[in-house]
Amino acid sequence: MTDAETTSTFAARIDLLEKALAQLESLAPEQAELLQRWCQTLAAVRELRLNFSLPVTCIGPVKSGKSTLINTLAGADLLPTGAGITTSFPTTLSAGQEFAARIKLQPEAGVNDMFIRAANLLLSDELKNSEPDLFVEEERLQVKNLLSHYQFTGNLTRHGIFNESYRLLKNMTVGAEKVSRFYHNSELEFTFTDPEDSDYRDFIRDETLSPFLSGINLKAPLRLLPQHLSLRDLPGLDTPNPSHQNIIIQQLSESPALIYVISSRIGLRQADYQLLEHLHQLGLKERLLFVINLDLDVHNDAEEVKAMTRRCRDELDELSFTQDKYAFSALALFWSREEIAAELVPSARRRLQAWQDEQEKLEFSNLGARQFLERLRDLGRNDAGSALLNHSNKRLQQVYNNTRRLIENELGRLEQNDASLNSDLDRRDKERRKIESVFNETGRIITGVCNEIEKAAYNEITRWLDRNDASSLRRKLEKIIADYQAPLDQLPEKNRNPLTPMRIIDNHFQLTVPARIQETATLGTLRFLETLHNDINQRLLKGCAPLFIICENFVKSGELDQSELPLPIKISGEIPLFKLSSEAEERFAIVDKISNLMQLMGRKILRLRRRRSLGEEYNRQIKKAALKELPRWLRNYREQLKFALVRHHIDECRDLTTNFFSDLLASTRTSLEQHEQLSDADRADADRRITALKEIAGGLQEAFKTDE
């Protein structure tokens, strides 16, 4: 069965169930409340089916063609491309009936904090440790004027943290004027529905707005991407924005595949080697798929194209990346679509015609494109499909089973003759009281089970964060802090303000170490949560086993199975930031700096004897203070994981489990209710209802017969 057939069958089943529930509401009005709840379950499953996707993430150095590839797979010009335009914020593109772009801005406090740190790092002498507010016009203009002066006195071409700070501050001072109205109105999330809207185009193309963006979520009719897969375009892993970095690591880890794009203009560059090494260290090597994005304009003939492809493949093999590699021109694939080709400007049409004239080059590219698209289709079927289909089919099957039981019980009631009905009254009354007892106890039992699971999960989180072996998160974070080296070569040799070196080291530490700590903590947390999720599911199934056994006494079909119990696909939600919180920042406040400076100056003779400079001494002090604070940061992180993520997940498990057993018992209870003897008029109505119920049951059985 193809993906389209599977989707069509699933949608048809939901439609059939919704129609059946509507009919049952008129045939069994006493069950209206129960039937409405099942309708809500179907609506939730339909919504999940429509919006669920697993992300395929495009990565690679700047100007390698990531955005062009995403536009190609989407079949529309949705992301910025071209020289000088790079993605500097997370962008997610998923399937939708119509275009919609959800823009999310960074919180004002986070933007201001980033602005203050960069300003004090680059302009420490001029600002004298003040904290300029980006959204106060006078203070923003002050920084803007200082940047203009720095442009002529500083070294803007130098590689390093100062260069990045200048670029960031330049963008922020210009961009703040454009987004201030959104912050003034506390409008941090908004949606565009027209891809040609000038405001939307500004957000995706204007580099000065990128520091303010938390992310963009696009929905559009995707032409080539398989169902249940979405595309993500991410900024570089070296982004200075801590919240971006946290999101990047989480999204990389959640992606079933990472499409690494290499431009054939140059082949593998030093930036590629560094990025590939970093991905290897993160344990993401096996998820990589390589796309060699062919630039058909720079290769004279097919032999040159093939030679460059062989070169890239050989170099990747030497680096032990032996997985699939696909070579094709994303731009040629994009332009070859009829609706796109019809809208091309004359220069682009000439380029496309030149490629079509060189048939061998284009055929080589088309072959690689077909192989790549087939691989994506496999991903959509095997990875994303299995996670979603198992969950949604299980919930759909649950509604069907409950509906079938309700129909069977209603039929049994209507088909009873007067004698059997009267003789069974006592037995039915006892069974009804048993069900009522179980029904009333179910919530209490499930709550008790979930409370035990919550305690066990909290203990697991505590044990994981308290571990102190070589591979533990604590040791990894300690190593990051211990390995930190202050930029001593960038400290001024002489300065009137003795606090300047300390302030530069402090800001450099805050801009570099927290990002690496967050990256390591987020990746480790994702791996831990995957194991914890499986453990929670197993404990919940084991804890609910007695309820399954009890309920089997009331289910005539005898088909009750633990696999019917729907559970969340995973622990959902955004992993909290591993935050170096306020007490640590207070440790490096101006009063503490003066106190520390006096202590350091008081030990001047000892420092000179050891030949250690003031910068070196403060480098040691800041690392020592961070290592001292690390246990408290871990404790704070533990509480965030418990109450922001795990508690919500267990509540979701509790709700799904409670609804499952409540619906199960309610669907069987109807046949055990006492009924008066039927009159002749009632019999005619009963016959009509029996016929209608059998028709509904027959239609449902035909639709679900492949799953029985």
302-358 pLDDT per residue, tens:
899 999 999 999 999 998 998 889 999 998 988 888 888 888 889 888 988 888 888
SS3 content of the chain, % helix, strand, coil (to 5): 70, 5, 25
Superfamily classification of domain 52-92+228-384: P-loop containing nucleotide triphosphate hydrolases (3.40.50.300)
Per-residue pLDDT at 158 exceeds 70? no
Confidence label for 23 from pLDDT (cuts 50, 70 and 90): confident
pLDDT of residue 44 exceeding 60: yes
| Percentage of the residues of the chain whose pLDDT score is greater than 70 | 79
What is the reported pLDDT for 609? Answer: 43
pLDDT recorded at residue 429: 64
Instruction: Check residue 357 and give its pLDDT.
Output: 87
pLDDT in tens, 244-290: 566 677 778 778 789 999 989 888 888 788 888 888 888 888 889 99
- Mean of pLDDT values over 44-64: 79
pLDDT score recorded for residue 472: 93
**Segment 530-552 mean pLDDT:** 88
Q: Give the pLDDT of residue 314.
A: 93
The dihedral built from the CA positions of residue 536, 538, 544 and 546, taken in this order, carries a sign that is negative
pLDDT reading at 371 higher than 90: yes
| Chain segment 235-251, per-residue pLDDT in tens | 655 555 555 566 677 77
pLDDT of residue 159: 40
The residue whose two tokens read 């300029």 is 132
Local structure of residue 190 (DSSP, 8 states): E
Query: DSSP letter at 52?
Result: -
CA distance 664 to 662: 5
Q: Return the H-helix or E-strand segment holding 230.
A: strand 229-233
Over 80: is that where the pLDDT of 613 sits?
Answer: no
Mean pLDDT of the region 456-478: 93
Q: Give pLDDT tens digits for 175-214.
A: 898 888 888 888 899 899 988 888 888 887 787 888 888 8
pLDDT of res. 308: 92
Q: Using CA atoms, how far apart are residues 670 and 35, in angstroms rounded to an integer?
A: 13
Taking only the tens place, the pLDDT of each residue in 615-661 is 777 788 888 888 888 998 899 999 999 998 899 999 999 998 888 88
Q: Is pLDDT above 70 for 137?
A: yes
Query: pLDDT tens digit string along 83-114?
Result: 444 455 778 888 888 889 899 998 888 888 88
Which pLDDT value is given to residue 220? Answer: 85
Cα torsion 20, 21, 26, 27: sign: positive
**Residue showing tokens 């260290």:** 281
**In the chain, % of residues over pLDDT 90:** 15
Write down the pLDDT at residue 508: 81
Structure-token pair, residue 446: 């499930």
- Averaged pLDDT of the chain: 79
How high is the pLDDT of residue 432? Answer: 67
Q: What is the DSSP letter of 290?
A: E
Q: Which residue has the tokens 């699971």?
A: 453
pLDDT of residue 49: 75
- In eight-state DSSP terms, residue 677 is P
Q: Which pLDDT belongs to residue 479?
A: 92
Mean pLDDT, to the nearest integer, of 505-521? 83
Which 8-state DSSP code applies to residue 87?
A: -
